[in-house]
Chain A
């Protein structure tokens, strides 16, 4: 017994920096908050703020109008920003937050690279940049930033970043699984002048086009970016002429400072301490030499009361393939993790960035050293950075009575990245990123409500997928269905949202290339809150050379991909589709909140009736017995079934220290034996004052003697002192994902799993209050450690 306990302790402690990498360093901020040159009254400020905001919205509108790609026009996969003279953002537009976090780096790097050298920065200049070491997350995210001059001085910068469909590189689309260094990836343009003193540089334009497989589209998007900056500059100059530079500058600085003050105030109202999160990504397929690799991002987020410190020590070393991201991805992932849950009502700008600190090690997945490949950074390292950071942030949300009603109380999954192309129905070359699997992901549950089915990607406030007809008009595809998937939401008291699923065949063509660049096919990236379970994994299935045409001619219309006995595709894969190929894609879905056994049986029944939850899942995860047609609930059987599941949790669960290895018992051999007795459990009730509740799972109780302990939310069972990890005192079961993490969770490696789900229960009442997915070797996360002074203040 002693041995296994020690073995657990010896697992790499959470957040430990890698010994063979440089010591962790704070990531330098590239701007400072300032004092406004003049004091504005409450009215002038409001008028100017509103006007500046509309200028930023105008940048986005211009981009959308001119750009030719669904990615920009419908996916809103771009960002726009207005910064002050040194790059401190004044407004980050309501588009993709994952590109917005780079605005200040981009401007600061553009200044330091060009200022004072032969190049110089002049009125009317615009700089093109897609260099992931200067800000962009991967090479396809291209930025154009431009200085706004008042007299001889740089007054502000405007900028846009957008995802270009193809910037070159060894694989189509420019996200290159075959790249091991950036030399095989799209060319990098490190802040070069695309417009010089108002004159468009055709030579630079030629160079960019020359390196793309789709030069026409790239050219159009470059023009849209220039046009967007022009419009913003014109509007800004008008404002300066009307009000004077000092007044406008003051308004810009006040917008930042006010955000900063309000954000600090919000932080001061949240618990202080350390909050931990981690997330993983797998290669799982096509990337030479890396097929079986798994990468991990770890974060310990400290709320000091006026600042959030994100310490990413413990994050794995950089990859030998394309899943790293530029350090912009680390910043953007971090920013995106908290803006919606904690700052939805504030202007997003330097006032937020000034109150966060990021600690990172060079040579890691999201802070790689050259010549690391980074071309899939946005979909991989940046996204799991967001995932890990979100997990840490939602712990704060779970501890706050009001926030957990409305903010994210669970973490989301990721989109399913894809590149498609070939010959279209008109015999021309086509290529696209199908936005269905980017926009078609749901939002997660919180304490107030279920996740919203197909509610759209978090981090892109307004994203949109094309109509099926629009896609079929442009591309040689025939959709068999595009619908909400069944059993696709993470179970919970409030369930997660359901994902979209689509199935299609080639039509009027004989060939299509498909590249998938996603993760989370083997294990879910979504994490439930307070005992809610995970959403589904990303799914891609392919059946080649089917008899679909004959079926059509027989008047049959296939209803499910499984009718064709398809193969599951790995997260990173390259496929060549021909006549009769049938393809199925579906992104990850989101997690639930609270123990699924707490969900009112009527709500489960309603989901069964809507076909969103199957009867099997209702029984297995919710303990609800549904019979008959139309479906009816059997109340008595449901009560019995729920009782049976609680029994099983209590009889089968063991303290973590009693498990030999953290793998399911059926893979582990003989079951571990239990040591604790029922009597012992009954006696451990914490009586006292509830200081905090953590969602539906835990209470922090101050006992009469002044001790602070973690206790069961429902029955008051005392787990441990507040400093310790209550999971280590809970009953735990470890199981295969599809039995424990959620219905049909995993999609690949079902027969050779590497990830398992750990469920944690109250040893007295059987309440499930936490579930985490990890490899056997990963330590059990110690979610929350409060600051001592904070505890004393309660």
Chain B
């Protein structure tokens, strides 16, 4: 059945051009100075974004004519590159050009992929050996005493004795301690024993069969000499062996997170490098005109093999594209504060864009392992279309267990017997049994209703529809709770935010959870394009290089010169490296920030730092900004200013700007949507507790300016938008769908009127 769905989608979206959305490049002044790759072919050509997910491979192709094409084809897990080429072929066919032509004339080719995530989930990474400071060999096993809880939902903490340890990316018997020690100031306490390094490496490679080595010493981020020396020794003895040094992977204090990230990088790197080099080879054969860029979780991209060397940053590559697309759309419509919500089959992903900036984290967990490189923060909870509803002691519960894709919801008719959120959506009438996935798959609504009746409604003594309504309300409330908590943890009030709802099920539930948290506005971005939003974001990513330093000092510093020197050194490296990527200074942007905290405090806050030489005036600005941001995060009286402030780490991000796709605004047409109206059917809305005769629209046929009064259901190829009674769906000039409440729920009119 899975295959059939894929084929359906494949045929259906085959190279489809999205009507109503046009793309134009930025003005020629900016393009004039773009990277060498762009210059090579002049201004004309294709801009391509591809996103290989676990199930589907999405492709977005934009051209200078303003044409935008997308395709969605099945991913090919045995060899993901196959799915990617399938996607390109599909788009090319749709545009009536040859694949070779498409690639040859490509000016930008950015790729998001799931290879790192898959390698981690399947435990199929390389055999890693680690050499570390003697006495600290157990750091990765000890996991700061969180082996039973790290990366697990809070409910699982209640009996940690029932939780297994995470699988080890590098078992303890492949860790060897070496005599060496640096202290907190970077001073050498004990010299590195070269002899011990040599014998450790012989042991790890010859006896343990390690394929990659991670060199992880204490305090290496302050003084990297020992790590560099060890690497030199290894490379002399085994020039063909990969070596990752911890200070080059994570430049921050905290050995567990640094070692863990380095080990993960080493673990993923060979697989990722193989993948990238294979892909580069294929694309080369097909005559790709641009250099392959790969999307990383830090929100930017890097060229092929260099990206592969940052394999750990490739975890979350695809979903980050979705966040990036959210940011870009926010910029277009003038929304600065956005919460992106992606509701798929098994999970609900939340991310925050505040004041136009993506919220990054320096500490995340993946498969329960700590990762300490900056990543766009995406929180995932177990709620999606496949979430199973059940009765526990007379109370209805939904999720986190999911029916997944196989067997999937009951209404898929693939043998699922447990009622899910999607089944509820079918019973309530949100999903059209005859128009699921554009009508190429029919849903067994009766089966869904029967399952809900037997498993939920009968035991509770209510009707099947009431039970389905319960599922809908509970899953919405849980998602709202998760959004609220996630925002709160980061110091934000979600009521100040606009919700972007995408993913297969997001637009169907958006009014539900958006209203629950009292969001400023609820938007389904780019209507039909919302199902390939990640690829769209990937297509628009910049080349980004991050530089860290972790030299702590009281702030204001006694020696301002030292701080200037730290920033200058990082910027110097960055400027050189980005120039080597082919970017000229017009297209290079340098961003500085610092991690600061009040003395005594342990959590640091990232503050933007002005460019150029820091002087007294700029120092005062930083101080003010820190106090302001701190109060914003933790409350007006929380900061303990008398204790003084510490600067903990320094951060420089060098951005090479690539040409952006800009969606062209279209003229707004009349509000009347009747041209797209397909008919009507009864739909049950939990807010009014009854079936209402509801207009059904062909969502793909709606035009900018159309306003659809609720109750209504907008059916699109990849998703369904539900407009509850009292709400209006309004398409702005970019074809974003605003879900406005009657009483001014949505006040954000930017780009719309």
Contact = CB atoms under 8 A, between A and B. Distances in A.
Interface of A: 41-43, 45-47, 49-51, 54, 57-58, 61-62, 64-66, 68-70, 73-74, 94, 200, 216-217, 219-220, 223-224, 226-227, 230-231, 258, 261-262, 340-341, 344-345, 348, 406-408, 425, 439-440, 443-444, 446, 452-458, 461-470, 472-473, 478-484, 500, 503, 507-508, 552, 555-557, 559, 609-610
B474 A224 contact: no
A43 B474 contact: yes
A483 B135 contact: yes
Contact of B634 (A51, A58, A65, A261): A65
A226 to B, nearest CB: 8
Given A500-B142, A555-B191, A217 B637 contact: no
B183 A557 contact: no
A42 to B, nearest CB: 5
A579 to B, nearest CB: 15
Contact of A484 (B138, B185, B469, B642): B138
B179 to A, nearest CB: 5
A531 to B, nearest CB: 20
A703 to B, nearest CB: 36
Interface stretch (B159-167, B268-276, B619-627, B677-685): B159-167
B454 to A, nearest CB: 16
29 contacts: A41-B470, A42-B460, A46-B397, A49-B395, A50-B478, A65-B491, A65-B603, A65-B633, A94-B157, A220-B600, A227-B638, A348-B158, A407-B159, A425-B184, A439-B144, A452-B161, A453-B147, A454-B147, A456-B145, A457-B145, A470-B253, A470-B254, A472-B219, A481-B135, A552-B189, A556-B190, A557-B179, A557-B181, A557-B190
B154 interface: yes
B31 interface: no
Given A461-B160, A469-B184, A610-B172, A224 B190 contact: no
A266 to B, nearest CB: 12
B600 A455 contact: no
Given A473-B552, A609-B173, A73 B603 contact: yes
Given A344-B158, A443-B160, A469-B184, A223 B144 contact: no
Given A65-B491, A258-B393, A453-B142, 7 more contacts: A46-B477, A220-B640, A223-B637, A455-B160, A462-B157, A478-B189, A482-B139
B473 interface: yes
A231 B600 CA distance: 23
A224 B638 contact: yes
Interface stretch (B481-489, B522-530, B540-548): B481-489
B135 A480 contact: yes
Given A453-B141, A480-B135, A467 B255 contact: yes
A465 B474 contact: no
B603 to A, nearest CB: 6
Contacts of B635: 62, 66, 227, 230
Nearest to B221: A469
Nearest to B256: A467
Contacts of A200: 637
Contact of B146 (A94, A226, A262, A464): A464
Contact of A68 (B148, B158, B462, B602): B602
Contact of B395 (A46, A70, A463, A500): A46
B136 interface: yes
The 8 closest A-B pairs by CB, nearest first: A481-B135, A344-B159, A461-B157, A43-B470, A439-B145, A68-B600, A47-B477, A483-B138
Given A61-B489, A65-B633, A464-B145, A51 B477 contact: yes
A455 B144 CA distance: 9
Contact of A473 (B158, B184, B633, B642): B184
B142 A454 contact: yes
Contacts of B473: 43, 47
A466 B394 CA distance: 43
Interface in B672-703: none
B254 A467 contact: yes
Contacts of A64: 603
Interface string B312-329: 000000000000000000
A227 B634 contact: yes
Interface residues of B, number: 77
B160 A468 contact: no
B396 A456 contact: no
Contacts of A227: 634-635, 637-638
Contacts of B451: none
Contacts of A406: 159, 161-162
A45 B395 contact: yes
Contact of A54 (B185, B391, B485, B643): B485
A472 B254 CA distance: 10
Given A42-B396, A406-B161, A484 B485 contact: no
B134 interface: yes
A51 B158 contact: no
Interface in B596-610: 598, 600-603
B142 A216 contact: no
A340 B158 contact: yes
Contacts of A217: 600
A469 B250 CA distance: 14
B224 to A, nearest CB: 14
A349 to B, nearest CB: 13
Given A65-B603, A483-B138, A42 B394 contact: yes
B218 interface: yes
A572 to B, nearest CB: 25
Contact of B481 (A54, A455, A559): A54
Nearest to A65: B634
B747 interface: no
B474 A47 contact: yes
B149 interface: yes
A340 B159 contact: yes
A45 B397 CA distance: 10
A340 to B, nearest CB: 5
Nearest to B642: A216
B193 interface: yes
A74 B256 CA distance: 14
B142 A220 contact: no
Contacts of B394: 42
Interface string B379-400: 0000000000001011111100
A470 B363 CA distance: 15
B571 interface: no
Contacts of B462: 41
Given A468-B255, A559-B134, A94 B158 contact: yes
B740 interface: no
B51 interface: no
Nearest to A610: B172
* Of B136, B165, B254, B635, most A-chain CB atoms within 10 Å: B635
B137 interface: yes
A67 to B, nearest CB: 8
A453 B147 CA distance: 9
Nearest to A485: B138
Nearest to A473: B184
Given A227-B638, A482-B135, A559-B134, A74 B255 contact: no
Contact of A452 (B165, B189, B190, B218): B165
Nearest to B686: A43
A343 B52 CA distance: 43
B158 to A, nearest CB: 5
Interface in B109-151: 134-139, 141-149
Contacts of A42: 391, 394-396, 460, 470
Nearest to B637: A223
B517 to A, nearest CB: 11
Contact of A456 (B148, B184, B477, B602): B148
Given A43-B474, A46-B474, A68 B601 contact: yes
* Of B139, B159, B397, most A-chain CB atoms within 10 Å: B159
Nearest to B473: A43
A480 to B, nearest CB: 6
